[in-house]
Chain A
Amino acid sequence: MSRFTQRMGALLAAATVAAALGACSSEAEPTASGESAAPASTTREITDASGAKVTVPSAPKNIVALAETDLDAALALGVTPIGASKSRQGDSVAGYLAPQLPNVKLVGEIVEPNIEAIATLDPKPDLILYGHFLDPDPAQIKDLNAIAPTVITSMVDSTWKDSLKGVANALNLEAKATEVLAAYDKKVTDTKAAIAANGAAKVSLVRWNPQGPSYLQKQHFSSTIVEELGLKRPDAQLTEGTGPSDPVSLEKLDVLDADYIFLGTLNNDGAAALEQAKANASWNQLGAVKANKVVAVDGVPWTSRGGPIAAGIVLDDITKTLKG
């Protein structure tokens, strides 16, 4: 029901904007037809992650990032978006990115961009990055394209590296992306060296939600980083999927056990998650808990779809915990 109401709201907003834009474009038509004569900044045509051709500014200035992974990637590439979606943790962008975005405008919820808020941004956006953990919604794309060129930067099964490349493609910063990825690879090598003494450790990645605990599945962001480090996971956690698992029954907490447990929540309050877990007698029987090898981490970079900055945080946390 709430989703429905939100959709209705978005629909109304979209209709309003479309009407306003319709009025604008009819006035602007003469200039549009004389495009080659216009001194406007140059554009280029790119193919986005969905295979669509989009004409984007060669040097976009005012960027809106609708997904956290794109916001992270843009910042890593040295670009500060002017608009972004609220993080799921509350009323701002993701806590680990917020210090770099003091002036960002919030433009809706994570999968429900507020079309009106985007259309009324000042300065007007000239590029919208649309990366999603859901399939792209054609109606949303159409509304967004009416405001500014909208680039689908990643698809549901894309990795964070694909997302980064998608963002770099849209921002015309491919060379910079190569540098960012090289820096990440170096950091992975450094981390491996730092934790060599614990290189054979099995690590469990857990998100403790109000519904109970989930583990991060095989293709989840943090799981792929752990895999690159050569660390092992409990077999039961290697289910196929890019997201967290369904909540695990409190009778099956043994699937969460390993040499180390990294524990976070949907919001950034890992300590509160740990308190919730400790109230459970079965949790306290897990080997990692008895050995005091549970690490509370910021669940936002760890358990959502991250980018290069989140990956750096994950690597730092692992180094801190596993270094010899």
Chain B
Amino acid sequence: MTNTLPRRIAGLLLCLALLALAVLLSLAVGARAIPFATVVDALWHSDGSPEAVIVTTQRVPRTVLGLLIGMALGLAGAVMQALTRNPLADPGLLGVNSGAAAAVVSAISFFGITTASGYVWFAFAGAAAATVVVYLLGGGGKGPGGPVRLALAGTSIGAVLVAYTYGVQMLDAKALDQFRFWIVGGLSGRDQSVLLDVLPFLVVGIVIALLLSRPLNALSLGEDTGRALGVNLAGTRLASAATVTLLCGAATAAAGPFAFIGLAVPHAARALIGADLRWVLPYAMLLAPVLLLGADVVGRVVISPSELEAGIVTALIGAPVLIALVRRRQVVPL
């Protein structure tokens, strides 16, 4: 196991290199074959040719979107698993995804909103509202059994919201058509203004998540030890829940709910680096966008001239990697 400091740093640099490669592929590869030199030219000075327009108005925005959303989901997943001390927790467990989905389907069906920039605040508000309700019902995850109570509250509220979402879709065929596109999660054709809308939330969320690594480490040692170490437990829990909501709510609002990334990447990070959150968080932050951008690139080329949504490809290519990792190494406990 790579436990020594130099090896951990080397691993981090390797993750960074992988991420750089993923970004490069995302800029260079697409449904339309564009020579690499043209891509590079377009990045420096767009000459207005169809190829340059595709690079600057489609590949660059979707790469930036994938990068930020990947980071957000990876961090949100790692924080969520530490907060609930549940290795099967994903960011959706606090009701973020189901709350956003319920709000978006309502926006489509009751308010006739049909554009991504119209959904974004509904999605965000829905995610936030669901999280607050889950957090309060779950008693903030305090005390022995607290994480389990939080997880159960999240599962129950999630089930109610999913039922509501299906109900609206069944009664309104038009909502079904619009919504089934949003629900898959994808990076293509997303309105650029949407990314700008949620950018501040993503940046703040990423910074807070990284700052939480030390207190969350203490929390994972158990209530008493944590308190003995002088960590404000209630404050840490609240900040963690708020961060997950910011990160996952903003990501979901911008590109739809992505399953799997938030669950799988923290596991992969722990398999590589151990349970110390000071390392798990940065590793998850760098590896999640590798998976997301990689999935997006694969989705662009497999069925050209059509595309597969990244949300569909993510699990298909991510699951074998995760299974291989956890089979070769022991699953690292939280």
Give chain A's interface residues, CB within 8 Å of chain B. Answer: 1-2, 5-6, 86, 88-90, 109, 209-212, 236, 245-252, 254-255, 266-267, 272, 276, 279-282, 285
Contacts and interface: CB of A to CB of B under 8 A. Distances in A.
Contacts of A89: 174
B180 to A, nearest CB: 8
Contact of B53 (A247, A248, A255, A282): A282
A3 to B, nearest CB: 10
Given A2-B176, A210-B181, A246-B303, A251 B114 contact: no
B114 A246 contact: no
B149 interface: no
B197 interface: no
Given A210-B181, A267-B174, A248 B306 contact: yes
Given A249-B307, A251-B32, A272-B114, 12 more contacts: A89-B174, A209-B177, A210-B178, A212-B189, A236-B305, A248-B305, A249-B188, A249-B304, A251-B31, A251-B58, A252-B32, A282-B53
A93 B264 CA distance: 46
Interface in B147-188: 166, 169-170, 173-174, 176-178, 181-182, 188
A109 B171 CA distance: 10
A32 B50 CA distance: 72
B177 A88 contact: yes
B67 to A, nearest CB: 19
Interface string B128-146: 0000000000000000000
Interface in B290-325: 300, 303-307
Interface in B47-78: 50, 53-54, 57-59
Contacts of B306: 245-249
Contact of B305 (A2, A249, A280): A249
A84 to B, nearest CB: 15
Contacts of A86: 173
A249 B309 CA distance: 10
B50 A1 contact: no
Contact of B31 (A109, A249, A266, A279): A249
Contacts of A247: 306-307
Given A249-B305, A252-B31, A282 B54 contact: yes
A248 to B, nearest CB: 5
**Which 7 A-B residue pairs are closest in the complex by CB-CB distance?**
A249-B31, A246-B306, A252-B305, A251-B32, A281-B57, A251-B31, A210-B181
B166 A1 contact: yes
Contacts of A2: 166, 169-170, 176
B50 to A, nearest CB: 5
A6 B177 contact: no
A279 B59 CA distance: 16
A250 B188 contact: yes
Contacts of B173: 86, 88, 90, 109
A251 B82 CA distance: 40
A109 B115 CA distance: 25
A246 B302 CA distance: 13
A89 B306 CA distance: 24
A285 B50 contact: yes
A249 B181 contact: no
A255 B305 contact: yes
Given A6-B170, A282-B50, A285-B53, A210 B177 contact: yes
A145 B176 CA distance: 30
